Amino acid sequence: ETEIPNFPRDLPNILITGTPGTGKTTTSEMAAEATGLTHINVGDLVKAKSLHEGLDTEYDSYILDEDKLIDEMEEMMRPGGKIVDFHTCEIFPERWFDLVIVLRTDNGVLYPRLESRGYNAKKINENMECEIMQVVLEEARESYEEQIVIELESNSIEQMEENVSRIKAWMESWIANNSN
Ligand code: DAT
């Protein structure tokens, strides 16, 4: 990782991560609306700005160009106030985030969500295994300070609403503790 100074920010940056289908995008949109922070859907950004090296046809997903992605996001992240939504978390500089949320979904709930997306069997199985093995949670715990990583259940609308309320409350307390 290159040595870029971390400027103080007036608003926090939050990463919302988890296996595909756990509710990152829906939760991020609701949290952005509740807090006034800006949602960055990294998957959309990768497609829109071609921050990839083509399509992996076997898994039907883009092969990320990580360096291009990090360069593209650096200026966006600097002032703070972003909710970043992506299925992997270890590629980002640690200094970007004040809170890392890992969404978790029970197998019996996740499977039909992935099916209804029209994913092929290979992609469904890959994602189910990712969730069962808690790959993203372990990545998050290895990549960020323990105290900023929070695991939240995302099985129902009620839990999603509760998660959004928690994010809002957390942001308000961050602002109260970090204002000059
Ligand atoms: P992700 O961005 O993690 O891939 P998503 O936000 O696109 O997930 O959600 C996938 C689908 O599941 C979408 O139809 C909304 C639904 N969903 C997500 N989280 C949910 C929750 N906690 N309760 C009910 N439905 C949820």
CA-closest candidate to residue 43, choices 20, 13, 27 = 20
Helix 157-178 to helix 24-35 angle, to the nearest 10 degrees?
A: 50
CATH number of domain containing 85: 3.40.50.300
72 in a domain, yes or no?
Answer: yes
Classified as helix, coil or strand, 1 is coil
**Contact in structure between 125 and 106 (CB atoms under 8 Å):** no
Residue 179 placed within a domain = no
ipTM over 0.85? The verdict is yes
Domain assignment present for residue 89? The answer is yes
Mean pLDDT along residues 25-51: 97
Ligand 1 centroid–CA 22 distance in Å is: 5
| Å from CA of 164 to ligand 1 middle | 13
Q: Is residue 7 part of a domain?
A: no
Q: Structurally, how many domains does the chain consist of?
A: 1
- Which residues form the domain of 68? 14-173
Residue 161 lies in a domain: yes
CA angle 48, 150, 7 (to 5 degrees): 60
107-161 pLDDT, tens digit each: 999 999 999 999 999 999 999 999 999 999 999 999 999 999 999 999 999 999 9
Q: Would the pLDDT of 1 be above 60?
A: no
Q: To test ligand 1's pocket by mutation, which of 19, 44, 113 has the most ligand atoms within 8 angstroms of CB?
A: 113
- What is the whole-number distance in angstroms between the Cα of residue 26 and the centre of ligand 1? 6
State pLDDT tens for residues 53-78: 998 887 778 899 999 999 999 999 99
pLDDT of residue 59: 72
Do the domain assignments include residue 74? yes
In a domain, 110, yes or no: yes
In a domain, 42, yes or no: yes
Indicate the average pLDDT of the chain. Answer: 94
> For residue 134, which of 16, 14, 21, 19 has the smallest C-alpha distance?
19
Pocket of ligand 1 (CB under 6 A): 18, 20-26, 113, 154-157, 159-160
Pocket test for ligand 1, best of 15, 22, 26 (most atoms within 8 A of CB): 26
